[in-house]
């Protein structure tokens, strides 16, 4: 089994090859969650995710013969870039197998680190099978993303740094994918501070670790913004470590992850991906677990597509009332649009989008349907804008 000494050795081994990321207090997240929060900002790694820790440690431990053979990894995301980067730093040939559906930006970024990218299979399972065949044909060394002692030890350096910077933590919260990060952090945290609470976080559509710990058949699937932790198969070594030591697994809904992304972006000025925000989502979902405690949250990745980030922020604005989507049935006569704009302006609202249908959408040729997108300060201000409009018009909020 892996011990604290292995993680300390990993930290020494990878020093200078990874970023020693900061652990900083966040007033915005603390205020939103009701506890004293510090964020371990591991999305500031060069490739934008914690995966570099494990990859750097695993590749540094290769023998000269293994380095000469080259390495192979399967990943559609952060592990791919981590292996590619650290292979390049060490002068090792790297082959990365990715499913055919992998977004082109991830393929491009991985190839930019000098790796040979092989696109194969319609899903991750097919990519794994092809990588096994290719690795055997070429005699390449496989670098597993989580089910490997050296990977786990490398990932555990995150908790080592966090507790060095914030030794008075009552709990730490770690996203759970295949289990390598939570396993390494569990070993480090419980050895450095016996009695500390360690929580794992999974998104509700991919709660594989929770299901396995409960002894249930794993059943996962469906769309999620937290694709970095959308894992079907938990590593056997991480599972054995986690099931003995973990305080609890917290399951969070998709909406909480979107809300966490928004709080981090707007409040903490930190742009993160869905999986990277899972820890904050857990604090939002289970406030009673953490109220009044000092909690360290691992921000594990920042590789979020700009369009997805934009959509999430807009959805959050709609949910909390800062954007209003309104439909009004109005009489089709001169001056009505000006009247409506005046009422919104007098109430302090800002119209940012207008859709006016008079030919086919309205119930009568004497009427029109008006769609508005209006900006408000908060939900109370939004209610005031609607109240001002309802004095003269029928208003439906969407």
- The pLDDT value given to residue 28: 97
Cα 49 to Cα 47: distance, rounded to the nearest angstrom = 6
Number of other residues whose CB lies within 10 A of the CB of residue 105: 11
Task: Show Cβ contacts of residue 144 under 8 Å, excluding neighbours closer than 6 positions.
Answer: 73, 151, 235
CATH number of this structure's domain 4-50+150-315, picked from the four choices 3.40.50.1100, 3.40.190.10, 1.10.287.1260, 2.40.50.140: 3.40.50.1100
Annotate 215-253 with DSSP letters as a single string: TPPP---S--S-GGG--SS--HHHHHHHHHH-SEEEEE-
CATH number of this structure's domain 71-139, picked from the four choices 3.40.50.1100, 3.40.140.10, 3.40.630.40, 3.40.50.720: 3.40.50.1100
Instruction: Locate 249 and state its tokens.
Output: 């697994």
Cα 185 to Cα 364: distance, rounded to the nearest angstrom = 65
Pairing verdict, β 171-175 and 197-203: parallel
Cα 237 to Cα 149: distance, rounded to the nearest angstrom = 8
Residues 165 and 42: beta-carbon distance below 8 Å:
no
Report if pTM > 0.85: yes
- The pLDDT value given to residue 361: 54
Strand extents, DSSP E, the chain: 23-25, 36-41, 71-74, 94-98, 116-119, 141-142, 171-175, 197-203, 248-252, 294-299, 323-331, 350-357, 367-375, 394-397
Cα 111 to Cα 83: distance, rounded to the nearest angstrom = 11
| Nearest Cα residue to 109 out of 78, 142, 152, 151 | 78
- Local structure of residue 122 (DSSP, 8 states): S
Assign domain 322-397 to its CATH architecture.
2-Layer Sandwich (3.30)
In degrees, to the nearest 5, what angle opens at C-alpha 98 toward C-alphas 92 and 99?
Answer: 170
Residues 207 and 176: beta-carbon distance below 8 Å:
no
- The pLDDT value given to residue 160: 98
Enumerate the β-bridge partners of residue 171. 197, 295
Residues 51 and 82: beta-carbon distance below 8 Å:
yes
The two domains 71-139 and 322-397 share their CATH topology (first three levels equal): no
What is the four-CA torsion angle of 281, 285, 291, 294, rounded to 10 degrees? -20
CB-based burial, 382-393: b 16+ in 10 Å, e otherwise: beebbebbeeeb
- The structural domains of the chain, with segments of one domain joined by +, span 4-50+150-315, 71-139, 322-397
| pLDDT tens series, the chain, 398 aa | 899 999 999 999 999 999 999 999 999 999 999 999 999 999 999 999 999 999 999 999 999 999 999 999 998 789 999 999 999 999 999 999 998 888 788 889 999 999 999 999 887 778 889 999 999 999 999 999 999 999 999 999 999 999 999 999 999 999 999 999 999 999 999 999 999 999 999 999 999 999 999 999 999 999 999 999 998 889 999 999 999 899 999 999 999 999 999 999 999 999 999 999 999 999 999 999 999 999 999 999 999 989 999 999 999 999 988 999 999 988 888 899 999 999 999 999 999 999 887 655 555 666 788 999 999 999 999 999 999 999 999 999 98
- The pLDDT value given to residue 103: 78
Q: Determine if residue 60 is left, alpha or beta; phi over 0 gives left, psi from -120 to 50 gives alpha, anything else beta.
A: alpha
| Nearest Cα residue to 93 out of 72, 119, 75 | 72
Enumerate the β-bridge partners of residue 325. 373
Output phi, psi for 252, to 5 deg: -120, 145
Could you identify the residue written with the tokens 């990859």? 55
Residues 248 and 199: beta-carbon distance below 8 Å:
yes
């Amino acid at each position: 089994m892996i011990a604290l000494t292995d993680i300390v050795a990993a930290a020494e081994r990878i020093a200078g090859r990874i970023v020693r990321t900061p652990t900083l207090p966040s007033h915005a997240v603390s205020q939103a969650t009701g506890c004293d929060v510090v964020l371990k900002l591991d999305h500031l790694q060069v490739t934008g995710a914690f995966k570099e820790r494990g990859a750097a440690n695993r590749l540094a431990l290769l023998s000269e013969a293994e380095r000469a053979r080259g390495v192979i990894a399967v990943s559609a995301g952060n592990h791919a870039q981590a292996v590619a980067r650290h292979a390049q730093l060490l002068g090792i040939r790297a082959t990365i197998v990715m499913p055919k559906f992998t977004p082109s930006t991830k393929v491009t970024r991985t190839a930019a680190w000098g790796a040979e990218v092989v696109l194969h299979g319609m899903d991750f399972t097919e990519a794994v099978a092809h990588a096994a065949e290719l690795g055997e044909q070429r005699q390449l060394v496989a670098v597993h993303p989580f089910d490997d002692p050296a990977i786990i030890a490398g990932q555990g350096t995150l908790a080592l740094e966090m507790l060095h910077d914030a030794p008075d933590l009552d709990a730490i919260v770690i996203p759970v994918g295949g289990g390598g990060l939570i396993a390494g952090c569990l070993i480090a945290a419980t050895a450095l501070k016996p009695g500390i609470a360690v929580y794992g976080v999974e998104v509700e559509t991919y709660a594989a670790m929770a299901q396995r710990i409960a002894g249930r058949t794993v059943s996962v699937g469906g769309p999620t913004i937290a694709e970095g932790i959308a894992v079907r198969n938990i590593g056997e070594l991480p599972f054995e470590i986690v099931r003995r030591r973990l305080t609890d697994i917290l399951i969070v809904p998709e909406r909480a992850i979107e809300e966490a992304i928004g709080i981090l972006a707007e409040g903490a000025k930190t742009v993160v991906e869905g999986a990277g925000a899972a820890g904050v989502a857990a604090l939002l979902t289970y406030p009673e677990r953490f109220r009044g405690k000092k909690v360290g949250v691992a921000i594990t990745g920042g590789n979020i597509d700009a369009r997805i980030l934009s959509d999430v922020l807009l959805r959050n604005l709609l949910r909390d009332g800062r954007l209003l989507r309104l439909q009004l049935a109005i009489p089709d006569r001169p001056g009505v649009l000006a009247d409506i704009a005046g009422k919104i302006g007098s109430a302090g609202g800002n119209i940012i989008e207008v859709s006016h249908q008079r030919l086919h959408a309205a119930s009568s040729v004497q009427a029109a349907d008006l769609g508005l997108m209006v900006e408000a300060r908060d939900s109370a201000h939004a209610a005031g804008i609607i109240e001002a409009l309802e004095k003269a018009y029928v208003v439906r909020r969407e």
